[in-house]
């Protein structure tokens, strides 16, 4: 077991720990969006300090399941400042659309020049701004967690994915997110049993990001673990409600 500042999140600047903790705390939506708007300018600096690996891991997993092809259209849900887009672009994906609930985050994402389209959308409160079966792949990296996007959004992600298309989702395995993770995995399994999609990958990663507290460290090693899931929407279109 690592101890002391070098082995735990206690080695992180207090301001970084506070901002990360606030983002994962259950709070009213307007307050949460204000937090992200205010965090946008420092977000990438903070997640670099956290050694946050989810964008890299998710993009690598998706590219393995779905090698980039010309014209493939991807939707980056809860795109933030564009960390996932950078990783996807590096792997050959060029037609990237993004949505996020924070105007401040979208402004940063726009400055990357990597997205062909960016839209404001609070997932869980409103539908995605896209027609049915529009995207070859959909990613939700870092937003499926306690106090963030509810697991009830899964059917909406499926709605905008083409039959045979891919969905790349992530969540954390730290103690304060275990209840959410269990709910998410129950919903993932229910959709698989219904024939909506099939699971291609559920990869548990030990060193996901640095823990902000000793209690949150998954293995007592100073880091949080997390999971990358890859699902493929079943090629036979299913009847959908609504």
94 lies in some domain = yes
**pLDDT tier for residue 3 given thresholds of 50, 70 and 90:** very low
206 lies in some domain = yes
Question: Which tens digits make up the pLDDT trace of 161-201?
Answer: 999 999 999 999 999 999 999 999 999 999 999 999 999 99
238 pLDDT more than 70: no
What CATH number is given to the structural domain containing 80?
Answer: 3.40.50.150
Give the Cα separation of 115 and 110 in Å (integer). 7
Residue 213 confidence (pLDDT): 87
3 lies in some domain = no
The number of distinct structural domains making up the chain is 1
Question: Which tens digits make up the pLDDT trace of 89-139?
Answer: 999 999 999 999 999 999 999 999 999 999 999 998 999 999 999 999 999
**pLDDT tier for residue 14 given thresholds of 50, 70 and 90:** confident
**pLDDT tier for residue 239 given thresholds of 50, 70 and 90:** low
Per cent of the chain over pLDDT 90 is 77
Which of 65-69, 71-75, 127-131, 213-217 has the least mean pLDDT?
213-217
Give the residue-averaged pLDDT of 139-144: 97
241 lies in some domain = no
**Following DSSP, what letter does each residue of 164-222 receive, concatenated?**
EEEEEEEEE-SGGGHHHHHHHHHHHHHHHHTTSEEEEEEEEEEEEEE-SSTTT-SSSSS
Residue 6 confidence (pLDDT): 39
1 lies in some domain = no
Closest CA to 207 of 194, 197, 220: 220
* Domain coverage including residue 147: 16-233
Give the residue-averaged pLDDT of 33-57: 94
74 pLDDT more than 80: yes
84 lies in some domain = yes
9 lies in some domain = no
Give the Cα separation of 151 and 235 in Å (integer). 23
Q: What is the mean pLDDT of the chain?
A: 91
Per-residue tokens: 211: 């823990």
238 lies in some domain = no
Residue 228 confidence (pLDDT): 98
Give 191-199's long-range contacts (Cβ < 8 A, gap of 24+): 191/154, 191/155, 191/158, 192/231, 195/234, 195/238, 196/155, 196/158, 196/233, 196/234, 196/238, 197/158, 197/167, 197/231, 197/232, 197/233, 197/234, 198/231, 198/232, 198/234, 199/229, 199/230, 199/231
């Amino acid at each position: 077991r690592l101890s002391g500042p070098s082995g735990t999140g206690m080695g992180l600047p207090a301001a970084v720990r506070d901002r990360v903790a606030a983002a994962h705390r259950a709070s009213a939506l307007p307050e949460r969006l204000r937090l992200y708007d205010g965090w946008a300018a420092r977000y990438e600096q903070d997640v670099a300090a956290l050694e946050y690996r989810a964008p890299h891991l998710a993009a690598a997993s998706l590219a393995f399941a779905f090698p980039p092809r010309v014209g493939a259209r991807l939707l980056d849900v809860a795109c933030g400042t564009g960390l996932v887009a950078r990783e996807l672009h590096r792997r050959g994906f060029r037609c990237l659309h993004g949505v996020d609930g924070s105007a401040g985050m979208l402004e940063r994402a726009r400055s990357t020049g990597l997205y062909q389209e960016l839209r404001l959308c609070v997932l869980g409160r409103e539908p995605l701004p896209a027609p049915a079966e529009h995207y070859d792949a959909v990613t939700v990296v870092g937003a499926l967690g306690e106090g963030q996007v509810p697991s009830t959004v899964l059917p909406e992600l499926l709605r905008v994915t083409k039959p045979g298309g891919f969905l790349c989702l992530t969540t954390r395995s730290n103690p304060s997110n275990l209840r959410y993770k269990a709910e998410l995995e129950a919903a993932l399994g229910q959709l698989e049993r219904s024939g909506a999609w099939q699971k291609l990958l559920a990869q548990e990663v030990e060193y996901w990001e640095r823990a902000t507290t000793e209690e949150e460290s998954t293995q007592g090693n100073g880091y949080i673990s997390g999971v990358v899931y890859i699902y493929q929407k079943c090629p036979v279109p299913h009847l959908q409600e609504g």
